Amino acid sequence: MVSHLSHCNCTISGQVEAKVTLLFVLISLSLSLQSLEGISDIRDESDRSGMRIVIELKRGSDPSIALNNLYRLTALQSSFSCNMVGILNGKPQLMGLKELLQAIERRANFQLSQAQDRNHIVEGIVVGLDNLDEVIAVIRNASSNASASAALRKEFNLSEKQAEALLDISLRRLTLLERNKFVAESKSLMELISKLQDLLSSKRQILQLIEQEAIELKNKFPTPRLSFLEDTDSGQLEEIDVISNDEMLLALSEKGYVKRMKPDTFNLQNRGTIGKSVGKLRVNDTMSDFLSCHAHDHVLYFSDRGTVYSARAYKIPECTRAAAGTPLVQILSLSDHERITSIIPVNEFCGDQYLLMLTAKGYIKKVPGDELKWVRRCTNDDLVAMASHNGMVILTSCEIIRALGRNTRGSIAMRLKEGDKMACMDIMPRIMWKELEKVSDANQGRGRRMRGPWLLFVSESGFGKRVPLSSFRMSPLNRVGLKGYKFSSEDCLAAVFVVGFSLADDGESDEEVVLLSQSGTVNRIKVRDVSIQSRYARGVILMRLEYAGKIQSASLISASESETEEEEVEAVPEVLNKAVV
């Protein structure tokens, strides 16, 4: 039995079955084979008072995951089979639990039949004893046993069994005392018959009897169990039970190679630096998507054919920064020439959430001749911010967007000018907009107008800025929108995020943005280092690209787990599951 579980150790105490006496040896052997991750040492502290095993965990290990590994890979948890063979109609037969529970009902039916037969005999004997002189006269005048039995049946309206039982009574049992015993037996049998009939007519009484007899067995055999029985669904651990739900980064290339990395693979850097390479890329391949999620999340993969695939994030093999990654065809059942255009992590599926899809031509749905580019989760209470390559922005409510089927065309999200196309979109809770309206009404000063939340703009040339959401207004669909970023002729918008979800004590953003270039260079910077500017400002340098090409993708995450590694108390940071292509 696990008596203590903490971030430092796991203590196992109590008793185990005789077949598990080598538990300590098995665990030690598993450690030597490095099949148990997260365990640094094991000690046997058993003494005369009982068994005690202390397992030391490595720093940062998840104790519940380590315990599940012990259950799965050692004899710490065992299951036992039961040969449930019974005798049915004189023959051995394998029975299920339902059939065994029906034994109470079958036993009651048997007892009722026996009691009714015996009561029938006793009633005949009592009739004979009440008419003893007439019975003796009939027997004396009979020529044989058969004629005596027939005469008794005719004279006293008895059955054959009753007559035979009356003839079998010896003379010593013809006394008054014996008659009273037969009368008492008949009364007792009638009570038993009534009780059994009530039992058989009520399922509730049958279940109560099963419970009562189980308690009687427990009291009859009061010796406590030497092992602990746990109420579980199946007793078998799934693969997900032994995988820690850690934060991770996913990188996807245009040719369909994906890899999973730890967040501390890319350290936090200053704004305007070059960044690190995400690894080797194949010939003519570029990075297309980069996002953060957790190991247990469902990752939805949307293809250019409008098909969606789903797989757990931990199914993607973890690799180093320099590795090339794993082809998606090894994880998903993709058709020939089918390409993944958007991925989104989902931690749970809720009935009040929708998938909001945006195409490159500005439709919030799949359109023939168009390409699905962005997918986000939303509710009717959320707002959506959409931006085009030329920096035009529309902020609207998700409630006015109709919920449509998978094969419908969709609505026009933004009226695009010639040569322009959609760049990205992001979701914002409506409560943030309401709080912003209250602040704007209370104070119209510049200081208030520059406060969060903000729209974070990232251009393809590596520039960026934050613009207060108060600089934009709500508008319906199918509009041109407001200018959010004024670009030069060689630059355009790569990504936009709603930031300000997570704020530090000083009121500044506590989020981080990860930038990914076409050549696979990654830079991770703080959002607070990005200047707050007006809608027409050029912005500041976020990442020096040099020979890295253009910004291909960006992802918004919270504070890294690498900053909390030295804390003694484990903390799982909140992840903002957003990414744009």
Query: What whole-number distance in Å separates Cα of residue 108 and Cα of residue 114?
Result: 10
Q: Which amino acid is at 31?
A: L
Q: How high is the pLDDT of residue 120? A: 93
Whether pLDDT at 545 is above 90: no
Cβ contacts of residue 31 below 8 Å, gap of 6+?
39, 42
pLDDT tens for 35-51 read 667 777 777 777 777 77
Question: Per-residue pLDDT averaged across 388-412, rounded?
Answer: 80
Whether pLDDT at 189 is above 90: yes
DSSP string, 322-353: TS--EEGGGTS-PPTT--EEEEEEES---TT-
Alpha-carbon distances, residue 96 vs 86, 88, 93 (angstroms) = 10, 13, 10
pLDDT tens for 342-386 read 788 888 777 667 777 777 777 775 444 455 677 787 888 888 899
Q: Quick one: three-class SS letters along 393-455?
A: EEEEEHHHCCCCCCCCCCCECECCCCCCCEEEEEEEEHHHHHHHHHHHHHCCCHHHHCCCCEE
Q: How high is the pLDDT of residue 371? A: 59
Q: How high is the pLDDT of residue 6? A: 56
Tokens 């600089």, residue located: 471
Q: Residue 365 phi/psi, 5° resolution?
A: 175, 175
Q: How high is the pLDDT of residue 245? A: 84
Q: How high is the pLDDT of residue 10? A: 57
Cα angle 504-510-514, degrees, rounded to a multiple of 5: 175
Question: Per-residue pLDDT averaged across 108-136, rounded?
Answer: 91
Query: What whole-number distance in Å separates Cα of residue 62 and Cα of residue 5?
Result: 10
Question: Per-residue pLDDT averaged across 564-574, rounded?
Answer: 36
Whether pLDDT at 284 is above 70: yes
Average model confidence (pLDDT) for the chain?
A: 79
Question: Per-residue pLDDT averaged across 26-31, rounded?
Answer: 55
Q: How high is the pLDDT of residue 466? A: 93
Of 139-143, 164-168, 190-194, 512-516, highest mean pLDDT: 190-194
Q: How high is the pLDDT of residue 112? A: 94
Q: How high is the pLDDT of residue 567? A: 42
Pick the closest to residue 518 from 254, 166, 271 (CA basis): 254
Residue ranges of alpha helices (H) inside 157-261 are 160-168, 176-200, 203-220
Q: How high is the pLDDT of residue 540? A: 93
Q: How high is the pLDDT of residue 559? A: 53
Query: Does residue 265 contact residue 539 with C-beta atoms inside 8 Å?
Result: no
Range scoring the smallest mean pLDDT among 94-103, 112-121, 332-341: 94-103
Q: How high is the pLDDT of residue 100? A: 73
> Which domains are seen in the chain, by residue range?
2-79 (3.30.1360.40), 99-220 (1.10.268.10), 249-580 (2.120.10.90)
pLDDT tens for 528-543 read 999 999 998 889 999 9
Query: What whole-number distance in Å separates Cα of residue 426 and Cα of residue 455?
Result: 9
Q: Is the omega angle on the peptide bond into residue 222 within 30 degrees of 0, that is, cis?
A: no
Q: Is 337 left (phi over 0), alpha (psi -120 to 50) or beta?
A: left
Whether pLDDT at 197 is above 90: yes
Question: Per-residue pLDDT averaged across 113-142, rounded?
Answer: 90
